[in-house]
Amino acid sequence: MTLIVGLDIGTTKVCCLAVRRHADGTLQPVGYGVAPCRGLRQGQVVDMEQTVAAIQQAVHEAQTMGEITITGAIVGATGEHIESMQRRAEITITRPDREVTAEDLERLRLQLQQVHLPPDRELMHTLIRQYILDGQPGIINPLGMSASHLQAEATLITGSITFLQNLRRSVERAGLEVQAMVLEPYASGLAVLSPEEREVGAALIDIGGGTTDVAAFKENGLVFSSAVPIGGNQVTRDVYILFRLANPEEAERLKREYGSALAARVPEEERVSYREMGTQVERRVPRRLFSEVIEERMREILELARDELQRSGLYNELAAGIVLTGGGSSLPCTAELGRQVFDGLPVRIGAPQIGSIQLPSALQHPAFATAVGLTLYGALTQPDPPTAPMPAQLWQRIVQKFKRWFKHSS
């Protein structure tokens, strides 16, 4: 039995999710904790003490709920500092039997990683999309096959050493070992996109509090990743400032209760009542006007995400469309606004899933896509338990389905 722990350190909250993997390969969520966090801005640690305290609180809650001890975690990272680049590399196989071995794949991986990185950047992932065997493309797993020339195409993900180190240090100061640093939209993609969507081409847009992460998947691999430095908190801030609300917390509450990403969908006669900043004056504004402010910012966020996808050159290849997730996507009518911004492409809101496993109801929300995805990443990359998995188990079948894709892109 192994414990897999995902730690999503976000701009608004830290979420720690612990999942138990049984000897038969089945996964079972055992504990989670969520703590508010103000220690990050746009994915960057700006207050380490607050970040450490929030991590400790979330981990403590998860430990108590699951009656477990957590010593390490798979940690998510995001922000504008993350960059993706495409790489192709080739090796020659000179042995007489020409059989592709694990050592060859490792040699090829090292070759892919031979890029000149500026001294302030580190490599986070080498995500192999496909192998090409003597000119034949589309090979997913060449192990045991025969070839003279083996090529691979990969997406390399890099991040700022300083940003990543500060995140790592925060987790370590909270008393945990960092088992892996994982690109957040990549993890979210594991939790909300179906294998079919990743195969035919889809974009994942995670509207968080401080950042909106963009990732494009195609042919079962991550092909692009980027981040826009605004998210749902900016929407709250607009409402707070423009309507002169008493405090940001009130703005957040009213946004959640009365906000809509499409003002036209709000009944004209409805009103939002609130007390104006610094006064006892009761204000009543049309709910539609309130939502116009929200719509404007939500539209901007989605347009910026669309610009990133256009910049990637992949925008016209997203046949399965766009999946929106993250807490910011839970405003009513966000998918409909998305269809306007994304030129009629299919747009849906994605909540996290672990196959058909029942997630605790509190986690069945777009805001927890990353935390769930981090545990999926762990389940797929950490070695299998010693006993043979039971193929009859539903979860096991799902893991196998993922694995084919994943083995070559982690």
Contacts to ligand ATP by CB under 6 A = 10-13, 43, 208-211, 231-233, 236, 252, 255-256, 326-328, 330-331, 367
- Three-state DSSP class for 46? coil
Q: Indicate the residue among 226 and 370 with the shorter CB distance to Mg ion.
A: 370
CB of 331 to Mg ion, least distance (A): 16
Residue 60's binding partner, choosing from ligand ATP, Mg ion, none, with beta-carbon cut-off 5 to 8 A by kind?
none
Structure tokens at 189: 């993609």
CB of 11 to Mg ion, least distance (A): 7
Q: Indicate the residue among 37 and 154 with the shorter CB distance to Mg ion.
A: 37
Closest CA to 44 of 156, 161, 174, 179: 161
In angstroms, the CA 56 to CA 46 distance is: 17
Q: Indicate the residue among 93 and 301 with the shorter CB distance to ligand ATP.
A: 301
CB of 227 to Mg ion, least distance (A): 10
In angstroms, the CA 68 to CA 245 distance is: 43
Q: Indicate the residue among 79 and 389 with the shorter CB distance to Mg ion.
A: 79
Strands 177-183 and 72-77, by their bridges, are parallel
Residue number with the shortest CB distance to Mg ion? 208
Q: Which residues contact 351 (CB under 8 A, 6 or more apart)?
A: 192, 325, 364, 365, 366, 369
Structure tokens at 282: 């009761």
Residue 221's binding partner, choosing from Mg ion, ligand ATP, none, with beta-carbon cut-off 5 to 8 A by kind?
none
- Three-state DSSP class for 72? strand
Closest CA to 367 of 28, 76, 10: 10
CB of 152 to Mg ion, least distance (A): 31
Residue 350's binding partner, choosing from Mg ion, ligand ATP, none, with beta-carbon cut-off 5 to 8 A by kind?
none
Measured torsion, CA atoms of residues 157, 160, 162, 168, in degrees rounded to the nearest 10: -20
Q: Indicate the residue among 34 and 223 with the shorter CB distance to Mg ion.
A: 34
CB of 300 to ligand ATP, least distance (A): 14
Residue 312's binding partner, choosing from ligand ATP, Mg ion, none, with beta-carbon cut-off 5 to 8 A by kind?
none
Binding mask 344-373 for Mg ion (x = CB under 5 A): --------------------------x---
Q: Indicate the residue among 130 and 325 with the shorter CB distance to Mg ion.
A: 325
In angstroms, the CA 290 to CA 262 distance is: 11
CB of 32 closer than 8 Å to CB of 52: no
Binding mask 196-215 for Mg ion (x = CB under 5 A): ------------x-------
Binding mask 124-143 for Mg ion (x = CB under 5 A): --------------------
DSSP secondary structure, 221-265, as one string: EEEEEEEES--HHHHHHHHHHHTTBS-HHHHHHHHHHH--S-GGG
Residue 188's binding partner, choosing from ligand ATP, Mg ion, none, with beta-carbon cut-off 5 to 8 A by kind?
none
Q: Indicate the residue among 207 and 347 with the shorter CB distance to Mg ion.
A: 207
Instruction: Count Cβ atoms within 10 A of the Cβ of residue 338 and give its class: 0-12 exposed, 13-18 middle, 19 or more buried.
Output: buried
CB of 245 to ligand ATP, least distance (A): 14
Residue 56's binding partner, choosing from ligand ATP, Mg ion, none, with beta-carbon cut-off 5 to 8 A by kind?
none
Residue 12's binding partner, choosing from Mg ion, ligand ATP, none, with beta-carbon cut-off 5 to 8 A by kind?
ligand ATP
The correct pick among 6, 10, 25, 66 for binding Mg ion (CB under 5 A) is 10
CB of 372 to ligand ATP, least distance (A): 12
CB of 213 to Mg ion, least distance (A): 7
Residue 167's binding partner, choosing from ligand ATP, Mg ion, none, with beta-carbon cut-off 5 to 8 A by kind?
none
Phi, psi of 52 (to 5 degrees): -60, -45
Angle between helices 287-312 and 232-242 (to 10 degrees): 150
3-state secondary structure 328-374: HHHCCCHHHHHHHHCCCCCEEECCCCECCECCCHHHCCHHHHHHHHH
In angstroms, the CA 231 to CA 216 distance is: 19
CB of 192 closer than 8 Å to CB of 205: no
Q: Indicate the residue among 139 and 341 with the shorter CB distance to ligand ATP.
A: 341
CB of 8 to ligand ATP, least distance (A): 6
Question: What residues make contact with Mg ion under the rule CB under 5 A?
Answer: 10, 208, 370
